[in-house]
Amino acid sequence: MHIELPKPPFPGLKQIFSDFSGQLAANGLIAFIFAASAPIAIILSAGARGGLSEADMASWIFGAFFINGIISIIFCVAYRQPLVFFWTIPGTVLVGPALDHLSFPEVIGAFYATGALMLVLGVSGWVKRIMAALPMPIVMAMVAGVFLQFVLDWLRAFETGFWITAPMTLVFFGLMAYPALARRFPPLISALVIGLIAIPLAGGYAPGAELTLRVAEPVLFTPEFSIQAMIELVIPLAITVLAAQNAQGYAVIGAKGHEPPVNAVTAMCGAGSIIVAAVGTVSTCLTGPVNAIISSSGEAKRHYTAGIFVGLLALLFGVFSPVFTSFMLAAPKAFIATLAGIALLAVLQTAFKTAFQGRFTYGALITFLVTAANIPIFSIGAPFWALVFGFATSWILERGDFLKPEEA
């Protein structure tokens, strides 16, 4: 066992309330609104593309928030660090194209297998060695290719829903241009608010939308384990969790003086992924943006309380997931596309920088092109083949990039 066990004493309710503050509450609220806005739009976009029903998507959102909220509270208390878990956004994006030729039970079977793989990597302690061996430019080129379609959907929304997309985009970039103002009015959340104002003025919500107060009724899915789904999804999903999501989370909280338990987090992502798969939710991960926001100010030793606050909000959101799902699905497609697209811009920029600024650039280019083309081979999705072809290209043309700097 290589799991980093939490060290007592653990904080009680009195200590937690003492460590909590108004600033940390504000950070937690902003972080939660971020998680409950654009990332939800990404789930709905992927689900709609894959033909999932409203009940399926509400169940997915329930697992993403309620179950991961419980995990977040436990880890924040046990390790006294900002360790909030949600779901992998790039993994979510992978699911949409996969549902073109795989059934949802087959995809859920891949969720289970991905969870089992990450659990083994965490318990064994192999995760650090594997992370060090992965050519990150090739991985991030795959991520960039996956995200590209969502950003293009935002641009296409100017044609189909100009009076929603234009004001949201204008507010987003206007605030981004003034960092001092953006700190008071987060650009993404402000764009969301402007979009909600613009929707009634541009034609309103879809008729017949059921927006009454309802509690979650999670759907328990029976998985199907197919070779095709295992080959296509398990490795890319695990990579998006470990390399695209968890690594970002470690970096942002590590920069604030915390020491995240890498093996314990990986094992929990595995166990959590197995649990949430039962209700149709994509793999659990340590979230980067949310943990960055809740640890952005205040004393480091108190950041864990903001994580607990986010976890409690996630529980509430998960319980009422059918209401939020219906509300978002009733909104015009341009609203969802714009919210998802602008939310992914920064991640797409980071992915391009990582992919093309140093080593493995030719392999990264092939990886990006194969992913963006989105052409399955032998009924196996493009992201898997993108990693294969990109790695092979670098192995043939960029052998020197596999050497450590001191060996080159």
Question: Which residues of the chain have a pLDDT value below 70?
Answer: 1, 132, 206-212, 379-381, 404-408
CA-CA distances (angstroms) from residue 134 to 47, 229, 263, 346, 381? 29, 22, 17, 22, 20
| pLDDT in the model for residue 200 | 87
Residue range 3-23, pLDDT digits in tens = 899 988 899 999 999 999 888
Residue in the block written with tokens 């108190």: 302
Q: Is the bond leading into 260 cis (omega within 30 degrees of zero)?
A: no
| pLDDT in the model for residue 1 | 61
Taking a C-beta distance cutoff of 8 angstroms, is the pair 337, 81 a contact? no
Those residues whose C-beta lies under 8 Å from the C-beta of residue 6, and which sit 6 or more positions away, are 78, 79, 261
Those residues whose C-beta lies under 8 Å from the C-beta of residue 388, and which sit 6 or more positions away, are none
Q: What's the rounded Cα separation, in Å, for the pair 377 and 109? A: 20
Residue range 92-102, pLDDT digits in tens = 888 888 888 89
Those residues whose C-beta lies under 8 Å from the C-beta of residue 243, and which sit 6 or more positions away, are 131, 134, 136, 139, 140
Q: Is residue 227 exposed (0-12), middle (13-18) or buried (19+ Cβ within 10 Å)? A: exposed
Please provide residue 159's backbone torsions phi and psi, each rounded to the nearest 5 degrees: -80, -40
Closest listed residue to residue 222, CA positions, set 105, 107, 138: 105
Q: What's the rounded Cα separation, in Å, for the pair 59 and 291? A: 24
Q: Is residue 224 exposed (0-12), middle (13-18) or buried (19+ Cβ within 10 Å)? A: middle
| pLDDT in the model for residue 264 | 95
CA-CA distances (angstroms) from residue 307 to 22, 73, 110, 242? 14, 7, 29, 20
pTM equals 0.76
| pLDDT in the model for residue 127 | 83
Those residues whose C-beta lies under 8 Å from the C-beta of residue 273, and which sit 6 or more positions away, are 111, 112, 114, 115, 118, 241, 283, 284
- Render 74-116 in DSSP notation, one character per residue: HHHHHH-S---EEE-HHHHHHHHHHTTTS-HHHHHHHHHHHHH
Taking a C-beta distance cutoff of 8 angstroms, is the pair 239, 131 a contact? no
| pLDDT in the model for residue 10 | 93
Question: Would you give the distance in Å from CA 294 to the centre of its chain?
Answer: 16
What is the Cβ-side half-sphere exposure of residue 94, based on CA atoms within 13 angstroms? 33
Q: 371: alpha, beta or left, given left = phi > 0 and alpha = psi -120 to 50?
A: alpha
